[in-house]
Structure 1
Amino acid sequence: MPQPDMNQIMAQAQQMQQKLQEAQAEIAASTVEGTSGNGLVKVTLAGSGAVQDVTVDPSVVDPEDVETLQDLIIGAFQAANDNLQQLSQEKMGPLTQGLGGLGF
C-alpha cells in the first residue's frame, strides 16, 4: 500500500479548516427562531446561542396562569435551540464527515 502524500494531506486539511471556519462564521452571523403556542411566543437566537429577542402575545399573559406562559417560553426556546442545531448540522455536517477522508 503506497504511503499518502503528506503535502496533499496537509493541503486538504488546510482547505477543510478554512471551510469549517467559513461555516462557523456563517452560523455565528445567522439568527434562528423558535415558536410555541401556535406562534404566541417567539424566541430569536443568534448563531452563538445568545437570546436576541423574546416576543409574547399579550393574549397569553394571564396573572392567574403564569405556569402556562413559562411553559410556552421554554417551548419556544427549545424550538429555537433545535433550529440552531439543525442549522449547524446543515453547515458543518458535510464538512466534518469529510474529515474521515483525510485519515482522521
Structure 2
Amino acid sequence: MFPGGGQPNMQQLLKQAQKMQQDLAKAQQELAEAKVNGSAGGGLVEATVTGAGELVALTIAPAAVDPEDTETLADLILAAVRDANQAAQKMQAERMGPLTQGMGGGIPGLPF
C-alpha cells in the first residue's frame, strides 16, 4: 500500500524511472570507457580490460616467452586476464551497486 492509502503519482513515478534509466546508462557508458589492469608473474604478463570486461590490451615481457614452455605462458596470460576481470567486476559493483539497489523497492508501486 501507499502512504495514506492513495494511488502513486504516475508522473512522479515516470520521472523517477527515467532518472534511474539515465543514471544506469551513464554508469554503463563510464564502465565501457574505464580501463583496469591485471597482471601475473610479477608483471611479466599484463592485461587491460574495460570496466565492462572487454579485453583491450595484453602485454607480454620477453622474459616470459620460452619456446620450450608455452604452457606456463598460457597460464600467465589466463591469470592476468582473470586478475583484470576481477578488478572490472569490483568496479562494476562499486558503480552499479548503488543504482541497482534502488530497483529493489526504490520506486514505490513497482514490484521489484
Task: Structure 1 unaligned segments of length 5 or more: list them.
Answer: none
Q: Is 1:62 paired with 2:60?
A: no
Shift of 1:44: 0.9
Task: State TM-score, norm by structure 1.
Answer: 0.90
> 1:52, 1:17 → 2: CA distance?
27
Pairing 1:26–2:51 present: no
Amino acid at match of 2:41: G
Instruction: Give unpaired runs (5+ residues) of structure 2.
Output: none
Q: Distance in 2 between matches of 1:97 and 1:79?
A: 26
The CA distance in 1 between the partners of 2:8 and 2:76, in whole Å, is 55
Within 5 Å, which residues of 2 pair with 1:9-88?
9-88=13-92
Secondary structure at 1:99's aligned position in 2? coil
Counterpart secondary structure, 1:62? coil
Tell me how large the CA RMSD over aligned residues is. Answer: 1.3
Residue 20 (structure 1) shift:
0.5
Q: Give the share of equivalent positions with the same residue, in percent.
A: 50
Distance 1:11 1:45 in 2: 34
**Stretches of 4+ moved more than 6 A in 1?**
none
Cα distance in 1 for residues equivalent to 2:93 and 2:54: 18
TM-score (norm 2): 0.85
- Structure having the higher Rg: 2
Given candidates 5, 8, 18, the residue that maps to 2:12 is 8
Is the 8 Å Cα contact of residues 51 and 89 (structure 2) preserved in structure 1? no
Moved more, 43-52 or 23-32: 43-52
- 2:64 corresponds to which letter in structure 1? V
